Amino acid sequence: MYQGETTLNIALIHHPVVNKRAETIGSAVTNLDIHDIARTARTYGVAQYFLATPYDDQQSLVKELLAHWETGHGATYNPARKEALSIVRLVASLEMAIAELTVKYGKRPMLLTTSAQHRETTIDYKEVAAKINNGEPVLLLFGTAHGLAPEVIGLSDATLPPIKGCTDYNHLSVRSAASIILDRLLGS
Binding footprint of its own copies on the chain (CB under 8 A): 2-6, 32, 35-36, 39-40, 42-45, 80-81, 83-84, 163-173, 175-177, 179-180, 182-184, 186-188
Name which of 113 and 179 has its Cβ closer to its own copies. Answer: 179
Name which of 79 and 150 has its Cβ closer to its own copies. Answer: 79
Min dist. Cβ of residue 103 to its own copies (A): 24
Would the CA dihedral through 172, 42, 39, 48 be positive or negative? Answer: negative
Min dist. Cβ of residue 25 to its own copies (A): 17
Burial class (CB in 10 A: 0-12, 13-18, 19+), 169: exposed
DSSP assignment of 49-110 equals EEEE---HHHHHHHHHHHHHHHTSHHHHH-HHHHHHHTTEEEESSHHHHHHHHHHHHSSPPE
Min dist. Cβ of residue 183 to its own copies (A): 4
Name which of 32 and 103 has its Cβ closer to its own copies. Answer: 32
Min dist. Cβ of residue 83 to its own copies (A): 7
Name which of 60 and 78 has its Cβ closer to its own copies. Answer: 78
Beta bridge partners of 5: none
Beta bridge partners of 143: 13
Cβ count near 32 (within 10 Å): 9
